Amino acid sequence: MPHARPMRADARRNHDRLLAVAAEAFAEHGEGASLDDIAKRAGVGSGTLYRHFPTRRALLEAAYAARLEALGERGEELSRVLPPGEALAKWLYEVCVATIQVRGLKSLLGSAATDTPLTTCGTLVKSTATTLLAAAQSEGTLRPDLTPTDLLRLTHGIATAAELGGGEAREIERCLGWLLDGVRVTGDGGHGGPR
């Protein structure tokens, strides 16, 4: 398999400038930010943007890769210091906060809530959710029929509901608490929530 040639210095500068400007534009305007405007603000032509990032999703994913990798690392960190059920709850809270606070991130996190994630970032988030959920289920905290896809879809819905309520931490905690109450295994051996 041939090795990828290293990027020329000017191409690397363009790439990095495009990512910095894209992150700002997505923060300001969400995932629908104008790609032509991003290219213009970065001081390059649209062709240069598309050579580096052939699709909007590729640009979004590159712009938020570090943020999503940090979410994955945070899941690992929480699993080392908290009991499984608590680690999962804390991580889901942080996913909701990121979804609300970082405009443009919602579509990438939404990708994780599909049966086959469409992005590398979505795959990373789903992998972290899978690991944390399996630990909580092994501990007996959460019902065994809950899948990572189910959990991420519900969490995505919680983030949207909390955002409609102003996106404050209290809203996220309340909505996420209701969700987790519904999927916990109850003390009598039954499942929480309506059947």
Q: What's the CATH architecture for 9-54?
A: Orthogonal Bundle (1.10)
Please, are residues 33 and 26 in contact by the beta-carbon 8 Å criterion? Answer: yes
Domain boundaries, the chain: 9-54, 64-183
> Distance (Å, rounded) from C-alpha 94 to C-alpha 50?
32
Amino acid letter for position 134: A
pLDDT at residue 188 in the model? 47
Apex CA 137: angle with CA 132 and CA 141, to 5°?
A: 105
> Distance (Å, rounded) from C-alpha 125 to C-alpha 69?
8
pLDDT at residue 118 in the model? 64
Phi-psi region of 63 (alpha: psi -120 to 50; beta: other; left: phi over 0): alpha
pLDDT at residue 73 in the model? 94
> Distance (Å, rounded) from C-alpha 39 to C-alpha 170?
38
> Distance (Å, rounded) from C-alpha 158 to C-alpha 146?
16
pLDDT at residue 194 in the model? 39
| Average confidence (pLDDT) per 10 residues, the chain, 195 residues | 61 89 86 91 93 89 86 95 96 90 73 70 87 96 92 89 82 90 72 43
pLDDT at residue 11 in the model? 79
Q: What is the CATH number of domain 64-183?
A: 1.10.357.10
